[in-house]
Amino acid sequence: MFRRTKIVATIGPASAPEAMLGRLIAAGVNVFRLNFSHGSAEDHRAVAERIRSAADQQKRTVAILVDLQGPKIRIGKFRDGPIQLHAGDHFILDAAMDENAGDSGRVGITYKALVSDCREGDSLLLDDGLVEMAINEIRGNQLHCIVTVGGKLSNGKGVNRKGGGLTAPALTEKDLADIVTAADMGVDYLALSFPRDAGDVEETRRRYRAAGGQGGIIAKIERAEAVSTAEILDGIICASDGVMVARGDLAVEIGDAELVGVQKHIIQRARELDRFVITATQMMESMIHSPQPTRAEVSDVANAVLDGTDAVMLSAETAVGDHPEATVRAMDRIILGAERTFQIRMLQARAMEGLEKIDEAIAVAAMSVANQLERVKAIISMTETGNTPRMMSRVRSGLPIFAFTPHAQTRRRLAIYRGVETVHFDSAAIDPDEINARAVDQLISMGVVENGDRVILTKGDYLAVHGGTNTLKIIEINRES
C-alpha cells in the first residue's frame, strides 16, 4: 500500500553507521535529521555523505534536514554528578557561578539574561518539565527558587519559563556558523529553533541564502510567543517553507493541557497556507528501550496522520535508542493503518477564486478531478521545481502524486511532502510525442496502474521552464497485451 505520510528520523550514535542508515532507508525513512546541538561539523559532513551513499545504493530519494540548536537555555554541570530534588527544597540558579561547580543547592546557567527576564512568582520548568520550581526571590545574579515538582536533575538540562517571554534571540553565534556549514553541505532543509515571529525566519533565510544555501527553511514552533496570536503564527508559517510542531519545549511553555488543540490548529493552518508540517517529540518514546510501542503512542502517531500532518518525526528513538529499525517499521505500520481509515474519494474543497498563477490553477483542478472522476489511480506531475506537486499535496486525497523530474535537488525537496513520490524522468531526452506514453509506462512498470485505469497528467508546453505547468490531461490506459 502506498504510504502518504513521511517519516523523519534523527541521526545519532545508534543510527549513524552506513549499514544502519541503509536499513532505516529500507524500513521507510524519507528524511534524516542532523541535530546540530550535538557533534562537530566534520561529524555531520561525514554522516551526510553516508546518507547519500546509502540512498544511492537503494535508488531511493532521501532528504537531509539540519536542525539548528538555537538559544536553548540550560543549567550548568554538577561537580559530583546528578542530584535529587524534592518538593519544598530551596534551590538557586546562579548566573555568576562557575558552570561546572553545581551542587545539591545551586547550579550555574548558560543564559545569563535569565535573571533579568524573570520575576518573583514565575515558574521555571527544567528537563522538559520533569522538575518545576517557583522563583521565590531574585538577589543580584541569583534566582532563589522553591521546588514544586521534584525529580532527578543532571548536567545541561533545559530551562523554560512557563508562559514564555524570554528575550533570547533565535539565532546564536553558533547558529550563524552552523548556517554556513549547512549551506556548504548542500542540505535540503534548515530548521530554525525558537523563532519568535516571521522576522526571525526571514533573517535566517537571508543569512542562509547569503551563504549559498538553497534548501527550504523550517520554523520550529516551540515558543509560547509563536502561538500567542493568530497573526504571529500565520506570519511564521507564511515566512517558512514548512513548520515543525516541536512539542517538547512548546508543551513546557504553554502547558500540556493546551498542547493538543494547538497542535491540531498548527497542522490545519499550515495546510491552509500551503506549507508542510512535521509533528515531533516523543512520538514513540517508549521504543528507545522497548521493541514495541505503547497503545498511547500508536494513537498519537495515528491522530497526527488523521489530522493531515505531512511527516512524523523520531528523535531519541533513532538517535540513541536500542531499536531504531524496529521503531521505523512500527511507525510505518501505524501510519498505513491510520491512512486506511480515510483513503477514500473525498473532495477537500479548495476555492478556485483568487488564483493568479496558471500552475496553481492546474494543480487545484487536477486534484478536484482526481477526487471525483472514477478509476483514477494516480497523478503524474512533470515538474522542474516541484511547485505543482507541492500544491497538489495540500489537497486531501487517497491518490498518489508522482513528481516526474530530472533534478535530484527537486526530488529531495519533495521527499517531505505528504502524498508525493518522486520519479527520475528526463522529458527533454524523449520525443515530445512519446512523453505521455513513456510516463504512463513507467507507472505500469512500477505496478501502480494497469489496463482500464485512468491517470491524470500535468505538464508544461515548454520543457525545462520553471512555473510553466499549463496542461492537464486525463489518460485512459489501454495497452495491448
Catalytic residue list: 33, 74, 220, 281
DSSP state of 188: S
Q: How far apart are CA 1 and CA 235, in angstroms?
A: 37
Q: How far apart are CA 48 and CA 308, in angstroms?
A: 29
- Nearest CA to 457 out of 370, 397, 374, 371 is that of 370
Q: How far apart are CA 75 and CA 290, in angstroms?
A: 30
The answer to whether the CB of 400 falls within 8 A of the CB of 371 is no
Residue with cell 517553507: 241
- Nearest CA to 197 out of 246, 239, 255 is that of 239
Name the strand (E) or helix (H) holding 481. none
- Nearest CA to 48 out of 64, 27, 28, 25 is that of 64
Query: Phi and psi (nearest 5°) for 284?
Result: -135, 40
**Chain CA centroid to CA 355, Å:** 28
Q: Amino acid identity of 66? A: V
Strand partners, 8: 31, 313
As given in the structure block, the three cell numbers for residue 179 are 548556517
Q: How far apart are CA 321 and CA 288, in angstroms?
A: 4
For every residue of 297-322, DSSP letters joined together read: HHHHHHHHHHHT-SEEEESHHHHT-S
**Helix %, strand %, coil % of the chain (to 5):** 40, 25, 40
Strand partners, 353: none
